[in-house]
Amino acid sequence: MPALFGDPAALLGAVVLKLPALLVAVTVHEVAHGLVADRLGDPTARLRGRLTLNPVPHIDPLGALTFVVAGFGWAKPVPVDVGNLRHPVRDMAWVAAAGPASNFAVAFLGLLAFAVARRTAGVPLVSGLLAGVFLWVYRFNLALAIFNLIPLPPLDGGHFLPYVLPRRAGPLLRELERYGPLLLVVILLSGAAGFVLDPVIRWVSGIYVAVVKILV
């Protein structure tokens, strides 16, 4: 909040770098869900115009406002009708996995693009502005992928649980669906998410950086 009123120029610079990266991350994530659902028998996302890389249909106004004010945001979830899936439990797990998988892939491409852009020192627009955007594409996509693997509804990790847990865990799953969002808020506000996820992000990032150094 202080940045919002204390230094408008710094805020504008951050938005210029981060907003395109955020839009890339959430758009790719939601489109991946919709594409896999469509391939597995549910055309809901396609029929509602959500299988597009145009970020506008995916923007959530509150999520966008939260991004400007607090530095993080979210998109509209792609609608999935589980009843249309040929194998609902298994296919929903594939649909859920598609989002983080797409973000891991785009994160790698973002880091690779950043490394290439930084080498073009003679073109300030590329080595400066575009490199900054690519860096945030990498950071947002990696963080979004790992964050969504938390096994709590409504995150993608929560959709894996019915597939990996035995049927007798049904009551537990129903309780998680009921209280999962509240638990997620508590985890975020308490800082527990960062305590657990930051080491994972650093570990995965180390692998990505090592591979990119070999390629570039």
| Phi and psi torsions of 9, nearest 5° | -65, -40
What pLDDT score was predicted for residue 206? 97
Contact predicate 153/159, CB 8 Å: yes
Q: Which two tokens stand for residue 207?
A: 């692998």
Contact predicate 57/23, CB 8 Å: no
What pLDDT score was predicted for residue 1? 44
Q: How far apart are CA 163 and CA 52, in angstroms?
A: 28
What pLDDT score was predicted for residue 153? 87
What pLDDT score was predicted for residue 176? 86
Dihedral sign, Cα of residue 172, residue 193, residue 181, residue 79: negative
Q: Which amino acids are annotated catalytic?
A: 30
Q: Residue type for 162, please? A: P
Determine whether 166 is exposed, middle or buried from the number of CB atoms within 10 Å of its CB (0-12, 13-18, 19+).
Answer: exposed
What pLDDT score was predicted for residue 63? 72
Determine whether 29 is exposed, middle or buried from the number of CB atoms within 10 Å of its CB (0-12, 13-18, 19+).
Answer: buried
List the chain pLDDT tens, one digit each, 216 residues. 444 455 665 656 666 778 888 889 999 999 999 999 999 999 999 999 999 999 999 988 877 766 656 555 678 899 999 999 999 999 999 999 999 999 999 999 999 999 998 888 666 666 678 888 999 999 999 999 998 999 988 889 988 888 888 888 888 888 888 888 888 888 878 888 788 889 999 999 999 999 999 998
What pLDDT score was predicted for residue 80? 95
> Domain limits of the chain?
2-215
Residues 6+ apart with CB under 8 A from 49: 57
